[in-house]
Amino acid sequence: MTCLEKNRNVSAACFIICFLCIISCKKKEPEPEPEIPPKVFLTVVRGQGVEGNPATGVIEFDTGMVINYGYRAIEGYINLVTTLDGNRIPDQGSFIIRKDLSLNSEAEQKVLWRYNTSGGVYYCVPAIGPDKTIYYTSGFYLSSPGAALHALKPDGTLKWSYPHTEILFSPVIGNDGNIYVQDFYSKLYSFTPAGALRWIYDQFRHNYSENIGQRCPAIGSDGTIYVAGCGLHAVNPVDGSRKWVAYEPLSAKASPSVGPDGTIYAVFSQDSVVAVTPGGTAKWSNSFTYPWEMSFATPAIDDKGVIYFAAEARYEGTDYSNIYAFSTTDGAILWKYPVEMERFVRASPVIDSNGNIIIATKANGLNKPAGVIALSPSGQKIWSYTIDNVHVNGDDIYTTPSIDNNGLICFAAETGFLYVLNPDGTLNYKYELPVGVNWSSPAIVPEGIMYIGGMFGGNYEGSLVAVKITGTGYASTPWPRFRHDNFNSGRYGFK
């Protein structure tokens, strides 16, 4: 090898060595940072009466995250609606968030308030005073803890309460604004609107108790208090003195009603249907078809001179009820409608805007469920609606329906549901109340609120419940609810 070739080899080797040194000495380039997903925000509004997650607020998430959510309406609220950016979605589920979104869940308040008592609200339909005070009674059967007359403010807070040893029936507000209420032994109590006891009327030949039905006084146009107990008594509202008594010592099982001319109508003993003038003179008397029939229901009066009664009987092992139409002129029976399926009727009849008679029935076992029947003014059945049983022994309807100013028929049952029927008898909606309802019927006020009482719990505690409805009063009919009006006056034409 020549010297030139050796020099060339050395130079090449040196070049390679230098190149490798330069590469090894050069700094290593850093790894690129991973891309961070942009942040997005979820704005959550969880309305009153809604529980679940996420809660109200603004929450930050990474783009692409899965969001799980779930909501439910609490007791007293209905119609839960959940939306994502204004679009309706299921009330529970998940979604992927890729941009800022709004999640809303709202419900409609149905129960505005409830006032609880130790005694059940059983035999009571609330009366509403001119100042919107709500008067109602509590207690269960004859002598029980919690028997009292209560006065509530429209917001459901207590104004006053008057305890009593015996069960009180529905209160009645007189023309003078005072409150009148009977107990199970027919004693009549008068209270001021402030809750002070004014007087007690107890001038009955016999005192007796009846565990079925409601006995409430009726109010005449001149303010006279008509009490059906042992006979029919006319009582002076000023001092509680007796004006007159008729049909003593016959006993009443239901409340009297007052017609447009002041005539008082009542049922005594088993089947004595009577009409008495405002002066205490017998106008006429008649009876149901059979002497063993009896009535626990208050009669309803129409604008054509007809009065309607519900009667029931158990004879030779068979149960049955009849709806009767009597002439107010002479007491003649105009027609009789036999209630099908051997079901008793203990709710009182009411009248709709077409003059039809609306009747609620009890059940007769699971296979003969309770329901509501509409009869024409001539006594022909127009439609019927039956309720589904909730309890193993069948559920009864004792509630007298109320017809609101939309023509809707409102009633409750032992099922614990409030039912609202269209005028043709189809179901508009039903709503599960926080109480089971027996003899308490709905009272409707112009604010779009229904008051109804019931019971709950193993010890038969009571509640008066304020329910939001669409109606703002009663239908313009001769007799749209139990005892005719919110004073519970029992008088046709009361304003």
Q: Are residues 61 and 176 in the same domain?
A: no
Q: Supply the pLDDT for residue 338.
A: 97
Same domain, 361 and 444: yes
Closest to 421 in 3D by CA, of 468, 371, 467, 364: 371
Residues 232 and 365 in one domain: yes
Q: Cα separation of 480 and 404, whole Å?
A: 8
Distance (Å, whole) CA 352 – CA 368: 25
Let me know: does 198 contact 233? Beta carbons within 8 Å: no
DSSP secondary-structure letter at 340?
G
Do residues 377 and 359 make contact, with C-beta atoms less than 8 angstroms apart? no
* CB contact set of 228 (below 8 Å; sequence gap of 6+): 186, 215, 217, 252, 254, 255, 256, 266, 268
Q: Which domain holds residue 57?
A: 39-109
Domain of 372: which CATH number?
Answer: 2.130.10.10
Q: What is the amino acid identity at position 137?
A: T
pLDDT computed for residue 3 by the predictor: 44
Number of structural domains found in the chain: 2
Q: Is residue 336 domain-shared with residue 258, that is, in the same domain?
A: yes
Residues 101 and 137 in one domain: no
Sheet containing 333-338: order of strands: 300-301, 306-315, 318-327, 333-338
**How does DSSP classify residue 236?**
-
Q: Give dist(CA 352, CA 407) in Å, integer.
A: 7
pTM metric for this prediction:
0.89
The encoded tokens of residue 204 equal 């009955």
Whether residue 270 sits in one domain with residue 126 = yes
Identify the residue whose tokens are 């004595």: 272
- Asked whether residue 103 falls in the same domain as residue 115, the answer is no
pLDDT at 144: 64
Radius of gyration of the chain (CA): 36
Element (H, E) at 17: helix 3-25
Q: What is the DSSP string of 410-467?
A: EEE-TTSEEEEE-TTS-EEEEEE-SSB-SS---EEETTTEEEEEEEETTTTEEEEEEE
Domain identity same for 304 and 427: yes
Residue-wise pLDDT tens for the chain (495 aa)? 444 444 455 455 555 545 444 445 455 556 666 677 799 999 999 999 999 999 999 999 999 999 999 999 999 999 999 999 999 999 999 999 999 999 999 999 999 999 999 989 998 999 999 999 999 999 876 556 789 999 999 999 999 999 998 889 999 999 999 999 999 888 999 999 999 999 999 999 887 666 677 889 999 999 999 999 999 999 999 999 999 999 998 888 899 999 999 999 999 987 789 999 999 999 999 999 998 899 999 999 999 999 999 999 988 888 999 999 999 999 999 999 999 999 999 999 999 999 999 999 999 988 999 999 999 999 999 999 999 999 888 899 999 999 999 999 999 999 999 999 999 999 999 999 999 999 999 999 999 999 999 999 888 899 999 999 999 999 999 999 999 999 999 999 997
| The pLDDT of residue 20 | 46
Domain assignment present for 476:
no
Q: What are phi and psi of 19, to 5 degrees?
A: -65, -40
Cα–Cα nearest to 290, from 310, 265, 317, 315: 315
456 in a structural domain = yes
Partners of 345 in beta bridges: none
183 and 52, same structural domain? no
Cα 396 from Cα 438, distance rounded (Å): 8
User: Is residue 343 within 8 Å of residue 364, measured between CB atoms?
Assistant: yes
Dihedral sign, Cα of residue 429, residue 433, residue 437, residue 443? negative
At residue 186, the pLDDT reads 87
102 secondary structure, DSSP code: E
Does 78 lie in the same domain as 185? no
* The predicted structure's pLDDT at residue 477: 97
* Partners of 103 in beta bridges: 44, 84
Same domain, yes or no, for 334 and 302? yes
In a shared domain, residues 44 and 181: no
Please, are residues 339 and 345 in contact by the beta-carbon 8 Å criterion? Answer: yes
Cα 471 from Cα 490, distance rounded (Å): 22
